[in-house]
Structure 1
Amino acid sequence: MSYFGFNWQFNWVSRYGNVELTAKERDRLRALALWEETKDVKLVCRTFQMSQAALYRWRNRFNPYDLSSLKERSRRPKRLRSARWPLKLIQDLKQLRETYPRWGKDKLVVLLRSKGHRTSTSTVGRILSYLKKHGRLIEPKRTALRATRHRRTRPYAIRKPKEYRATRPGDLVEVDTLDVRPLPKVILKQFTARDVVSRWDVLEAHHQATASLAAKFLDTLKARTPFPIRALQVDGGSEFYADFEAECQRRKIRLFVLPPKSPKLNGAVERANRTHTEEFYQVNECAWTVEELNPQLIEWERIYNTVRPHQSLNYLTPLQFLQQHGIVGKNYPSHSHMW
């Protein structure tokens, strides 16, 4: 018995069918031909190792004048739900992301809600992905910035007592310097201070990092911090010797000094330096003279303390955190008083 005895329909297919078939599709055609010849469903299913349901399905689907009917149909839904977002939401999100290109969906959704948009973090993420996919979001190029620092040992070190705990803003402010090297032979020093409780930051740039300039930075810190400072923590850099240490003693500010090669113990301000590098220096056209850079840093400091949501503060800004805990009043000036 021939398994491939075609009736007139299958003979027509063999003569005039011009669609290329895969091995699996040819087996379907042969199975249908065998069934047509033998009328034995079980034999066909056993021979071609297919279920009866599949055989009946392909028999109903098969059109002898169209070999493409032996091909698998697309499993893609015929109707796809298209995302529909308010145009105003997309425009505001695009503007915020281009203004603050290093801020992700978690921070941006807080700002969008403050503008009156009722949206979720996942929706913001999907819109950002859509804008990137269609080339409608301009991402800034990363600019090279080396932030390294040469550490020196010091003859003595006063460690922070193990039992000391920072529970209020001002209980512990970490201070560090950041090397900014944007161009060959151009080196600037940024003094960074971060309160470990409220995440309030103060920034100031100088041509060099000396003990006398570090001592003057204490004046800046006092003027731009809305709470009294009770303790500072620094690493073993030479800028935190001599005049700086004497000024801390004169102001009756406790001074804790880290042991050599232990930057992780100053983790809050180290993280601050990384944030300022990624979110300020790498995405802005900065001036590279102290006189021009410091006004830009002051504006960024304002944004950082009063606009940027902080994940560690449950997406409050440092100013909102201070207001929530009664450190400053609700009407505390966000800029005019201190900057």
Structure 2
Amino acid sequence: MENADEAGQRGPAWLVEQRYRAVLEVLDGSPVSEVAVRYGVSRQTVYTWKSKHEAEGLGGLKEKSRRPRTSPTRLPSEVEALVCEMRRANPRWGARRIAFEVARTATGAAPSRATVHRVLARNGLIRRQEQKHRRKYKRWQRETPMHLWQMDLVGGIFLADGRECKMLTGIDDHSRFVVIATVLAVPSGRAVADGFVRAMRTYGVPAEVLTDNGKQFTGRFTKPRPAEVLFERVCRENGVTAKLIKPYSPTTTGKIERWHQTLRRELLDVSGPFADLPAAQAAVDAWVHTYNTARPHQALDMATPASRFRPNPPPEPTLVSAPAAPASPEEPSIAAGPAAPVTMLIPVSAPAMEFETVVAAGGLVGVLPRVQRVRLGKEYAGRRARVWADEHTVHIVIDGELIRSVASCLDAGNLHELSMRGAVRAGPPPAARGAGRLGRLEPGTVIEVDRKVDLSGVPSLGSAKVTVGYELASQRVTLRLDGHLMHVVHDGVLAKTLPAPIDAEQRTGLRGARAVTSELPAPAAGAVHVERKVPADGVIMVARQRLRVGRTYAGEIVTVHVEDTYFRITLNGADLSLHPRKNQHPVTRFRAKIHAPKL
């Protein structure tokens, strides 16, 4: 006897006949269980057939449609029509862009990207293409705006008289904001440098700029020997790190290259030849304004570039050719004829100077690059710093906060050179004078130095070595030498106090030492936090004590709060267990060890 599934494959009539035979056998007195076995169904199915036959006759044994009577989640017809209309009006818009635009115009629930794609496919608005496996690239992006600009030259700007012009382009790496779009009649080095300077006057000075190896951007490949071109000089004098891509590797500047493709498709291919150069520039400016402020960008999660871009305060970039400074009573000049050289009498001492600059990508601030540079750390790269310098001390302030004070390597002539570069007379110093010029210290003088702790928890303090703790490894701390004590300050709080490793006579010779009069910061409150990855047996080690967490949490990274009398273990803020502390061994490891998987 065939079962119901095999009978259903032969058609609706055969299926009804089989079910009717089963019902007749039950009505003739056959046990339901035996009928169910013969027809390959359950007893409940036979009872269902019997009840449907009694209620509706043979019509009740037919297979009914399981389609739902209503579809509350079905896309409304007016929204589907709007999707199709947008696609026909803008053939280059994809499903993601259309879904975004519908969400901005429609009043109801916005369709998803997949829903829009199905609508386009159902209405024949998608051209089927053979799937191609694209090459995989290593993607990267700067963390903040104004950290890196990508720049390039692109052609394809045709005028009515038959000339082809080129355009200098620049885009912010983080926000995709177009900072430069200048049409050039002749793409010379001077025109490129002028366009770059105009952009810096508008948006501020970036920390880095990335270009290809074109002769307008670098003289690295100049024959017979390398030379510095005008663009490189502008970067050097404004504290901008000029980076070059590897030859024949245009994907490194992929953001600006992809923007060129958008520019061609949406503007140049449809506009045709322009009447003249001003008309071309006006058209490009209008399109760039729309691109920056109104056009959503898929790489920015459909946000506009202007919403992610934050320009620096617009300083006056350093001029390529600075005018000669007029002579003053303090700086007399003696001229022997119209072509005689000017002799400057540099004063023996000079007032303190102040100027603003941008921290380079490597974390260096060039006070006067050939004389002194100050390392702040890569975490400050791209930020605008104010430098206060005299013959004794150099202070660096960022956002009103004193970041570093070091002994000055500048003399009066260097300070005068800074004034020629645009520095102004400084106000009162933001901190005390460096200890290197103080000579013999008065009793009770407090000295501070900034140091980076190595992986062993030891900072460098002259010839002395002192351990400040593994928890501060790879961190930058301030060591405050006060009498016979040394206070360790980290992140504005007092981390610990140790015996001073050097006496008062040796402190003035420390690198970057400065005298301070401010109050000592308060110590940090709360327990020490450490992290551990739970192994397969569920037991972790903290301060030479075994703590059982449980095999349930194997592979998880838990946080252990180390108190004086107990250990408290938490996972994602939830308490797991509490263990009494049996010893007072110090904690030497604070981070969880993440081992690479075995191959």
TM bucket normalised to smaller: 0.5 to 0.7
Q: Is 1:172 matched with 2:148?
A: yes
The one-letter amino acid paired with 1:245 is V
Q: What is the Cα-based RMSD across aligned positions, in Å?
A: 5.2
Out of 291, 307, 323, the position equivalent to 1:304 is 291
Return the alpha-carbon distance in structure 1 between the equivalents of residues 312 and 189 of structure 2.
35
Aligned twin of 2:169: 192
CA distance in 2 between counterparts of 1:217 and 1:82 reads 54
The two structures have a TM-score, normalised by structure 2, of 0.36
1:116-148 deviation line (CA, Å, top 9, x unaligned): x7766x53648845864685x9899xxxxxxxx
Measure how far apart 1:238 and its partner are.
4.5
Any conservation in 1 of the 2:98–2:116 contact (CA below 8 Å)?
no
Asked if 2 retains the 8 angstrom alpha-carbon contact of 1:193 and 1:203, the reply is: yes
Residue by residue over 1:197-243, the C-alpha shift from the partner in whole angstroms, topping out at 9 and shown as x without a partner, is 332213345688665654454366457x4223454211123453569
Residues 127 and 95 of structure 1: is their aligned pair in 2 closer, same or farther, counting only changes over 3 Å?
A: same
Q: Distance in 1 between matches of 2:80 and 2:33?
A: 61
Number of paired residues? 278
User: Is the CA contact (8 Å cut-off) linking 1:174 and 1:196 kept in structure 2?
Assistant: yes
Question: In the TM superposition, what is the alpha-carbon distance from 1:180 to its structure 2 partner?
Answer: 4.9
After TM superposition, the score normalised by the length of structure 1 is 0.58
Task: Please say if residues 107 and 309 of structure 1, whose CA atoms lie closer than 8 Å, have aligned partners that are also in contact.
Answer: no
Q: Structure 1 78/23 Cα, relative in aligned 2: closer, same or farther at 3 Å? A: same
Equivalent in the alignment of 2:61: 70
User: Within 5 Å, which residues of 2 pair with 1:1-339?
Assistant: 21=12, 23-62=14-53, 69-81=60-72, 98=89, 101-102=92-93, 105=96, 109=100, 122-123=110-111, 125=113, 128=116, 132=120, 169-178=145-154, 180=156, 189-201=166-178, 202-204=180-182, 211=189, 214-215=192-193, 217-218=195-196, 221-222=199-200, 225-241=202-218, 245-250=229-234, 252=237, 254=240, 255-277=242-264, 280-281=266-267, 285-289=270-274, 291=277, 293-310=280-297, 316-322=303-309
Letter in 1 for 2:233: Q
Deviation sequence 1:23-78 (CA, Å, 0-9, x none): 54443233233334443322211111111111121223238997554332111112
CA distance in 2, matches of 1:320, 1:93: 29
Contact kept, 8 Å, 1:198 with 1:318, in 2: the verdict is: yes
8 Å CA contact retained: 2:183, 2:281: yes
Distance change >3 Å, CA 52–CA 89, structure 1 → 2: closer
Q: Secondary structure at the match of 2:210?
A: strand
d(CA) in 2 for partners of 1:81, 1:288? 52
Matched letter for residue 263 of structure 1: P
**C-alpha distance in 2 between matches for 1:55 and 1:293:** 81
For CA contacts below 8 A with separation 6 or more, give which structure has more relative contact order.
1
1:306 and 1:317 in contact (8 A); partners too: yes
Code of the residue aligned with 1:218 in structure 2: it is F
Q: One-letter code of the match for 2:304?
A: T
Q: Relative to structure 2, which stretch is displaced further, 45-54 or 186-195? A: 186-195
More strand per residue: 1 or 2?
2
Alpha carbons of 1:83 and 1:50: their partners in 2 closer, same or farther (altered >3 Å)? closer
Distance 1:68 1:209 in 2: 84
Which structure has the highest helix share of the two? Answer: 1
Structure 1 pair 32–190 and aligned structure 2 pair: CA distance change class (3 A)? farther
Tell me, in whole angstroms, the C-alpha distance in 1 between the residues paired with 2:157 and 2:292. Answer: 25
Which region of structure 1 is more displaced relative to structure 2, 24-33 or 47-56? 24-33
Q: Secondary structure at the match of 2:247?
A: coil
Q: In the superposition, relative to structure 1, how do residues 327 and 320 fare at CA in structure 2: closer, same or farther (>3 Å)? A: farther
Q: Which amino acid aligns with 1:193?
A: G
Q: Distance in 2 between matches of 1:62 and 1:297?
A: 77
Q: 1:105, 1:125 within 8 Å by CA — same for their partners in 2?
A: yes
Displacement of 1:301 after TM fit?
Answer: 0.8
How many Å separate the matches in 2 of 1:188 and 1:66? 85
Secondary structure, aligned partner of 1:175: strand
